[in-house]
Structure 1
Amino acid sequence: MEQARQKRPIRKVVIAGGGTAGWMVAAGLSKSLGRRLDIKLIESDEIGTVGVGEATIPTLMNFHHLMEIDEREFMAETMATFKLGISFENWRDVGLDYIHSFGTTGTDHWTAGFQHFWHKGRERGVAGDYGDYCLELKASLQSRFAHLPQNGMNYAYHMDAGRYARFLRKFSERFGVERVEGKIAEVRKDLISGDIRALRLDSGVELEGDLFIDCTGFRALLIGETMGVGYEDWSHWLFNDSAVALQTKSVGDAIPLTRSIGREAGWQWRIPLQHRVGNGLVYSSRYTDDEAALATLQANVEGEALTQPRVLRFKPGQRHQTWKGNCIAIGLASGFLEPIESTSIHLIQRGIIRLMQMFPSDGISQADIDEYNAQAQAEIHHIRDFIILHYKVTDRRDTPYWRDAAGMKVPASLQHRIDLFRETGRVFRVPNELFAENSWIQVMLGQGILPAQHHQTADLMGDEELAHFLGGISGAIDRTVAQLPSHQQYVQQYCAGTGW
């Protein structure tokens, strides 16, 4: 049985594993606390990383801002392009597409969201598509982009994950992080407290630490195998447990959208970078096999293959605890949600920021552990519900995969949101959750839910006034988009000398 630990200052931090998670942790800790900490990161050249997290969401800019990372330098090093949203193709039904963009749509009234005015406008025949009132969505459709004054364009990035890890390694080493090459052969625990005492490498080198960060990926060597923290399986809601990935040469201009294309037993991603395209198929082994999945992917990629296909296995879900004792799991070791909304790097980033806010400089507190775990659990639950939404609310019935997804019973928290929007058109954001109201509205409308009613505030506008209100918004957006350069042209100029 674990005994109460003696509080002791945290001076030595050992990060087990590199890749995006490990080096983001190293960057965050070293930039903020590097002068006070001895930070070592264990990484083996022989152990590959998953490395397919190449699409991001706008929150990554917050991390870069905190790290004081120059955007041009980052984009040059990672061969990045800009991203304005995700194109969902064949999701509502075969042949029907929509975009979940990063922008806001229309103008809200304090009593009601813009969707109510748009709904009333549709009834009166004076409104266009919901996306006509979102700058980022309209710009993405025309493959245009530019930085606008006062951060007037919400965006994220497509990037080379391997290059990003190397970029962060150089960044971290400038602030004193020491990379130690080797494989972890043994995890040594303190027999009294149950905490991790040291990691022994296959070379015989032993690294002692006060705090250990588990970035060992799906293996979860520290938090799972050593600390014995169990895993909550969400595969009854999220059927996909496999992915096959490969890279291809670019055959056209890079667009500022991640493409997510629904297939018979999963979905295909297409992520355009400066120098290549990332491709993959996420699928469920219950509904198809590896050979069929690979055949589907190869039949639907463009350009010459640059890599051999790589099959990945995963289990959607979360650790019961992400912090136990003196071990904190960040990245895949803490849990996994499929990359449909590009949230993996966001969850890494949130884990790092949460760690910085609760860093146990003077010793580990159980109260901090409990609060950290509660926040991490609430955050991933909200994201889980948003991802399940894409599968539950669909008109597709063409394969067993889609029929079963539409027919599944979802978490009560998600069912309430669906019912609320379907019946009233209302969406309320849970405090501190990642996806704001407009994200939920775009996906629910895109997947086929049209609310049964709208807020009565929208009835106060006459036809002419409502048409003027809606037309003013869409007209201003159209004028702005018309002045934007092409995304390809803008990236070429912004990242001059990066290989274009």
Structure 2
Amino acid sequence: MENTIIKKLVILGGGTAGWMTAAMMARSLAGTVDITLVESDQIGTVGVGEATIPPILNFNRALGLDEAEFLRATNGTIKLGIQFENWSRRGESYMHAFGNVGKNFPFCDFHHFWLRSRASGHSDSYWDFSLNYQAAKQNKFAHLANIPNTNLPGLSYAYHFDAGLYAQYLRRYSESKGVKRVEGKVCDVRRNHHSGHVENLVLENGQVVEGDLFVDCSGFVGLLIDNAVGSDYESWSQWLPCDRAMAVPSESAGSIPPYTRSIAHACGWQWQIPLQHRTGKGLVYSSSHWSDEQAREVLLGNLPGKPLAEPRVIPFRTGHRREQWKKNVVSLGLASGFLEPLESTSIHLVQSGATRLVKCFPHRGIRAEEVAEFNRQSRVEMERIRDFIILHYKANQRRDSDFWRHCESMDVPESLQHKIELFRATGKVFRDYDDLFTEVAWQQVLIGQGVLPEDHHVIADGLSDAQLDDLLQSLKTLIQGSVRQLPTHEEFLSSLLAAGTK
């Protein structure tokens, strides 16, 4: 492939994806590559990715960001998990809580001991043994690395924040690290006639921005990855039937719960994300089952507070670019593909993609082997997350609408079908090494959606009935006692933000 030494990196598009990428590149490649970001104030961003998952802490730490400053700048709050309401059946709920559940055992996950207890007639909820769940439902949080005087881990957390403010925050960070921002709208993309590589971007004001490697963060339009180098898009709409979202901010409903809510409706689901200054709300739905007006009525009829703007419609198509890196264009964010925000993976995919680009960054020219490995990792990551999201739709027990009946009866990828059948028969679930979601995450969604195993691991029979009862009771006592000592979420935020101003 091209042997041009990469000296000029151009990022097209700002927003969360563009500035996260710029910040990561500036932090990692300082002094070796000139970085330019091109964005236009005339072009808005989607900006609804306001909920994250725990790896965001690693991203912020890699940049050297101060947590108090970050939360203050983005109106951020703490997130301990996602509560799913009406997904299995109407009126029922469960939580995909971060962190561990119960106690780790060699070669046998804790839920097998819970399954054995349940088969014996005990009625404890699986989430009685989740520290994160208990803290979330009691509106508690503190930095708890482990439960004192035990070998049990503490709270695992992520953030809710205003995506627009986060982009502005990272812009200031990136520019302080030498990233050059160019304001302007692209009117032409010039490519090398021989190689097909992008050589420069021509802006409406006549300015020409040259680069050796381009990162496309232009959103759904995919100005470079699609229009310029022509990477095909693979649709996954046969498994993920929703194709539209409607977003609106609303006034805060008072307390700030440290978890995201996902509330299933007749033809889709609604998110609720609590920030310091407002609540982010939106509805993901199928246009084959609901009109925009029907969706608007459902969304506005289920707000926790007064709407602060008019709802805006965001059409989308779930799927991914078959080649997220093609020629000298790397696509990140919405330009690379889209998986609905059910498990808060949109911002994470930007993070992982930018990290992958740093690891695969070309030195003495773009090499086919490196591009192929980048694309392989990107594809596998997307497919793993895709299966996890499809699980929520497939494993429903609702019969109240054509939408849910279709989801329950649809064929799913073989990789997911195998996981469901194995868990239902044996209670076992295995995480691939490159799967974003842990075994505990899969267990919570499978159990929460009503996929209950017919058996448990033989190791769980190694305890006597009395030992098993003592184990479960001791864990509940430890968790409940630990949660009682925690401050409320609001108290934690007030203390942290006040300390950050001193």
Same fold (TM over 0.5): yes
Report how far residue 498 of structure 1 moved: 9.0
1:71 is matched with 67
| 2:450 partner amino acid | G
* Corresponding position: 1:36 with 2:32: yes
Contact kept, 8 Å, 1:118 with 1:127, in 2: the verdict is no
In the alignment, the residues of structure 2 paired with residue 68 and residue 445 of structure 1 have an alpha-carbon distance, to the nearest angstrom, of 38
Report how far residue 363 of structure 1 moved: 1.1
Give RMSD over aligned pairs. 1.2
1:146 is matched with 142
Report how far residue 228 of structure 1 moved: 0.8
In the alignment, the residues of structure 2 paired with residue 289 and residue 411 of structure 1 have an alpha-carbon distance, to the nearest angstrom, of 29
2:252 is matched with 250
* Corresponding position: 1:333 with 2:335: yes
In the alignment, the residues of structure 2 paired with residue 231 and residue 149 of structure 1 have an alpha-carbon distance, to the nearest angstrom, of 42
Contact kept, 8 Å, 1:23 with 1:169, in 2: the verdict is yes
In the alignment, the residues of structure 2 paired with residue 62 and residue 111 of structure 1 have an alpha-carbon distance, to the nearest angstrom, of 28
Q: 2:173 aligns with which of 154, 171, 177?
A: 171
3-state SS of the aligned residue for 1:138? helix
Report how far residue 320 of structure 1 moved: 0.7
In the alignment, the residues of structure 2 paired with residue 126 and residue 475 of structure 1 have an alpha-carbon distance, to the nearest angstrom, of 16
* Corresponding position: 1:372 with 2:374: yes
2:190 is matched with 188
Report how far residue 127 of structure 1 moved: 5.5
In the alignment, the residues of structure 2 paired with residue 317 and residue 481 of structure 1 have an alpha-carbon distance, to the nearest angstrom, of 40
| Deviation digits for residues 453-484 of structure 1 (CA, Å, limit 9, x no counterpart) | 01111122111110001111111000000101
1:381 is matched with 383
Contact kept, 8 Å, 1:84 with 1:256, in 2: the verdict is yes
Identify the range of structure 1 (93-102 vs 127-136) with the bigger mean alpha-carbon deviation.
Answer: 127-136
Contact kept, 8 Å, 2:69 with 2:500, in 1: the verdict is no
In the alignment, the residues of structure 2 paired with residue 304 and residue 116 of structure 1 have an alpha-carbon distance, to the nearest angstrom, of 45
| 2:236 partner amino acid | W
In the alignment, the residues of structure 1 paired with residue 60 and residue 479 of structure 2 have an alpha-carbon distance, to the nearest angstrom, of 28
3-state SS of the aligned residue for 1:172? helix
Q: CA separation of 1:81/1:369 partners in 2, compared to 1, >3 Å: closer, same or farther? A: same
Contact kept, 8 Å, 1:124 with 1:463, in 2: the verdict is no
* Structure 1 segments of 4+ aligned residues over 3 angstroms from their partners: none
Residues 122-271 of structure 1 correspond to what in structure 2 (within 5 A)?
A: 122-126=118-122, 128-149=124-145, 152-271=154-273
Report how far residue 20 of structure 1 moved: 0.4
1:445 is matched with 447
Q: CA separation of 1:279/1:497 partners in 2, compared to 1, >3 Å: closer, same or farther? A: farther
Contact kept, 8 Å, 1:75 with 1:81, in 2: the verdict is yes
| 2:400 partner amino acid | D
Q: 2:76 aligns with which of 60, 75, 80?
A: 80
In the alignment, the residues of structure 2 paired with residue 482 and residue 497 of structure 1 have an alpha-carbon distance, to the nearest angstrom, of 23
Identify the range of structure 1 (179-188 vs 117-126) with the bigger mean alpha-carbon deviation.
Answer: 117-126
3-state SS of the aligned residue for 2:498? coil
2:18 is matched with 22
In the alignment, the residues of structure 2 paired with residue 140 and residue 474 of structure 1 have an alpha-carbon distance, to the nearest angstrom, of 15
Contact kept, 8 Å, 2:131 with 2:154, in 1: the verdict is no
Report how far residue 123 of structure 1 moved: 1.9
* Corresponding position: 1:322 with 2:324: yes
Identify the range of structure 1 (456-465 vs 436-445) with the bigger mean alpha-carbon deviation.
Answer: 456-465
In the alignment, the residues of structure 1 paired with residue 445 and residue 499 of structure 2 have an alpha-carbon distance, to the nearest angstrom, of 38
Report how far residue 34 of structure 1 moved: 2.4
In the alignment, the residues of structure 1 paired with residue 13 and residue 378 of structure 2 have an alpha-carbon distance, to the nearest angstrom, of 21
3-state SS of the aligned residue for 1:495? helix
Contact kept, 8 Å, 1:82 with 1:157, in 2: the verdict is yes
| 2:218 partner amino acid | T
* Corresponding position: 1:111 with 2:113: no
TM-score w.r.t. length of structure 1: 0.97
2:430 is matched with 428
Report how far residue 126 of structure 1 moved: 4.2
Contact kept, 8 Å, 1:126 with 1:467, in 2: the verdict is no
Report how far residue 292 of structure 1 moved: 0.3
| Deviation digits for residues 312-366 of structure 1 (CA, Å, limit 9, x no counterpart) | 0100000010001110000000000000000011110111111111111221111
Report how far residue 433 of structure 1 moved: 1.0
1:61 is matched with 57
Contact kept, 8 Å, 2:47 with 2:163, in 1: the verdict is yes
TM-score w.r.t. length of structure 2: 0.97
| 1:109 partner amino acid | F
| Deviation digits for residues 85-128 of structure 1 (CA, Å, limit 9, x no counterpart) | 00100000110100110011112322311111001111223461
| 1:458 partner amino acid | A
Q: 2:462 aligns with which of 460, 464, 475?
A: 460
3-state SS of the aligned residue for 1:261? strand
Report how far residue 392 of structure 1 moved: 0.2
* Corresponding position: 1:415 with 2:417: yes
In the alignment, the residues of structure 1 paired with residue 259 and residue 380 of structure 2 have an alpha-carbon distance, to the nearest angstrom, of 29
In the alignment, the residues of structure 1 paired with residue 251 and residue 336 of structure 2 have an alpha-carbon distance, to the nearest angstrom, of 33
Report how far residue 152 of structure 1 moved: 2.3
* Corresponding position: 1:402 with 2:398: no
In the alignment, the residues of structure 1 paired with residue 494 and residue 62 of structure 2 have an alpha-carbon distance, to the nearest angstrom, of 26
| 1:477 partner amino acid | I
| 1:23 partner amino acid | W
| Deviation digits for residues 190-230 of structure 1 (CA, Å, limit 9, x no counterpart) | 00011000000011100010000000000000001110111
Q: CA separation of 1:445/1:45 partners in 2, compared to 1, >3 Å: closer, same or farther? A: same
| 1:364 partner amino acid | I
| 1:463 partner amino acid | D
* Corresponding position: 1:9 with 2:5: yes
Identify the range of structure 1 (229-238 vs 146-155) with the bigger mean alpha-carbon deviation.
Answer: 146-155
In the alignment, the residues of structure 2 paired with residue 465 and residue 30 of structure 1 have an alpha-carbon distance, to the nearest angstrom, of 55
Contact kept, 8 Å, 1:127 with 1:470, in 2: the verdict is no
Identify the range of structure 1 (321-330 vs 62-71) with the bigger mean alpha-carbon deviation.
Answer: 62-71
Contact kept, 8 Å, 2:10 with 2:35, in 1: the verdict is yes
| Deviation digits for residues 359-393 of structure 1 (CA, Å, limit 9, x no counterpart) | 11221111000000000000110000000000000
Q: 2:315 aligns with which of 300, 313, 316?
A: 313
Report how far residue 249 of structure 1 moved: 1.0
